[in-house]
Amino acid sequence: MFKCHTGYNEYYGQAGNGEIDHALWSRPETMTEERPSYKIDQANPGSDLAAETAAALAAGYMVYKSRDANYANQMLDMSKEMYEFADNFRQTYDISIPDAYNWYRSWSGYGDELVWAGLWLYRATGDESYLNRARGHWSEFNLQYSEARQFSWDDKKAGVYALFWLLDGSQTYLDHLNTYFNYLRNEAPYTPEGLLFLAEWGPARHAANVAYLALWAAKYGVDASTNNQWAQGQMNQLLGANSRYQMSFVVGFGDKYPERPHHRPSSCPDLPEVCDYGWAYSQPGPNPHVLYGALVGGPDASGTFTDDRTLYEQNEVGLDYNAAYSGALAALIELS
C-alpha cells in the first residue's frame, strides 16, 4: 500500500488490464503482456478504495505500534490522509478506474467504507472526532435502513455493526448485528449438507467470512454459545465434515481435498514446458504444484462439487477467499 501511494491524494488501485490478464494462462514470471496501472486522485477519486485502505492501515498501526513505532506511525499518517481523501473527494473507485467496473464493481457504494474507516481510526487513535464522523456517515448513507447480506471485500455493513457496537456500545448497532446473525441462521439458503450459500460464485469464502464474524461476536459475549456453535459448524463444513464428499475445500488439508484449483501458477508444469489455456484446460490430472492452504470456491446450491479447474465458480481461489477464513481459524484456536 505504501508503494501504491505515489503522492498526496494519489493512490494506484489496479495493476493489469482485466481483459488482457484473463486472456492469458501462464506463469507470472514469464508474462510479457502489457500491464497498465490505474490510479485514483482528486480529479478521479475512489472513496471506497481510499477508505478501505485507511481502515487497513489503521488496523496495521494497532498491530505494529508496540513492535516498530516508526513503521506504525507511517501507517497511521497514511491512514489519516487516505480517510480525508476518501471523504473530501467522493466517487466510487470503479467509475474512476473503468476497467474495475467489469471485474470488481463497487456494488455497495462507498458509504459503508467511510464508516468502516472512521471506526478503525477511532479505535487506533481514541480521537472522538473519528467516531462522530462515523456516526455522521451512518446517518448520511441511511445504513440503519440497509440490510447486510454478505460480509465481503465490497460490503462492510456487517462488520460496521460489530465494530460500532464494540466502540460505541449502543444497543442500536447490536440489534443490527443480531438481526444479521438471525438472518444467516434462519433465513439464508444452505446446501443440503448445511453450508451457508450466499452466492453462486465462491460460497465457501462467504461462509468463512461470516463464520469469522460470528466467532468474533462469541468472543465478546454476543449470544456466545449459539454463534460459536454455528460458526464452528460452518468451518467444519469447509474443513471436511460434509456428508456427501468427506473432503476439505482447502487445498492440501486433510486426506481428500481439491487437486485442480483454478490458479495459473500452480497448474503450470516446471519450465521449460509450455503452459497455456490449451495445456491447463486439456490435461485432466492434478495441478503439478500443490497450492497449500488455499480455500476454493466450494459447492453449488445443490451441494455438488466438481474438482475441475475450468469450473472457476467452484474452484477459483483469491486473497479475499482466505482473509477472514484465516481469522476464523485463529478464532477457533482462541475460543477452544
**Structure confidence by residue, pLDDT tens digits, 33-44:** 999 999 999 999
pLDDT above 90 (res 246): no
pLDDT per residue over 316-332, tens digit each? 999 999 999 999 999 99
For 199, half-sphere exposure in the C-beta direction (CA atoms, 13 angstrom radius) is 18
Q: What is the pLDDT of residue 245?
A: 79
Q: Please list, residue by residue across 63-77, b when 16 or more beta carbons sit within 10 angstroms of its beta carbon and e when fewer do.
A: ebeeeeeeebebbbe
DSSP class of 269: P
pLDDT above 80 (res 256): yes
Q: What is the pLDDT of residue 262?
A: 97
Sole residue written with cell 454459545: 225
Write 160-163 long-range contacts (CB < 8 A, 24+): 160/112, 160/115, 160/116, 160/119, 162/213, 162/216, 162/217, 163/116, 163/119, 163/120, 163/123
In this structure, the dihedral spanned by the alpha carbons of residues 246, 251, 255 and 259, taken in order and rounded to 10 degrees, is 90
Q: What is the pLDDT of residue 242?
A: 78
The predicted model gives 190-217 an average pLDDT of: 97
pLDDT above 90 (res 141): yes
Cis check for the bond before 272: say yes or no (omega within 30 of 0).
Answer: yes
Strands 37-40 and 11-15: antiparallel
Measured between alpha carbons, how far is 281 from 279 in angstroms, rounded to an integer?
6
For the chain, give the number of residues: 336
Q: List domains and CATH numbers for the chain.
A: 1-170 (1.50.10.10), 188-336 (no CATH)
Measured between alpha carbons, how far is 259 from 291 in angstroms, rounded to an integer?
9
Distance of CA 86 to the CA centre of its chain: 20
Measured between alpha carbons, how far is 216 from 150 in angstroms, rounded to an integer?
16
The predicted model gives 19-41 an average pLDDT of: 94
For 33, half-sphere exposure in the C-beta direction (CA atoms, 13 angstrom radius) is 17
Average pLDDT over the chain, rounded to an integer: 96
pLDDT above 90 (res 61): yes
C-alpha cell read off for 182 = 438471525
80 to each of 77, 130, 149, 161, how far by Cα in Å? 5, 10, 29, 22
Please tell me the pTM assigned to this model.
Answer: 0.95
> Quick one: which H or E segment has residue 99?
helix 98-101
pLDDT per residue over 277-297, tens digit each? 998 888 999 999 999 999 999
C-alpha cell read off for 299 = 459447492
Check if the beta carbon of residue 96 is closer than 8 Å to that of residue 45: yes
Q: Please list, residue by residue across 150-181, b when 16 or more beta carbons sit within 10 angstroms of its beta carbon and e when fewer do.
A: bbbbbbbbbbbbbbbbbbbeeeebbebbbebb
pLDDT above 90 (res 176): yes
CB atoms within 10 A of CB 90: 15
The predicted model gives 119-125 an average pLDDT of: 98
The predicted model gives 188-205 an average pLDDT of: 96
Q: What is the pLDDT of residue 17?
A: 96
DSSP class of 143: G
Measured between alpha carbons, how far is 243 from 238 in angstroms, rounded to an integer?
12
Residues sharing a CB contact under 8 Å with residue 247, sequence separation 6 or more, in sequence order = 240, 254, 256, 257, 258, 305
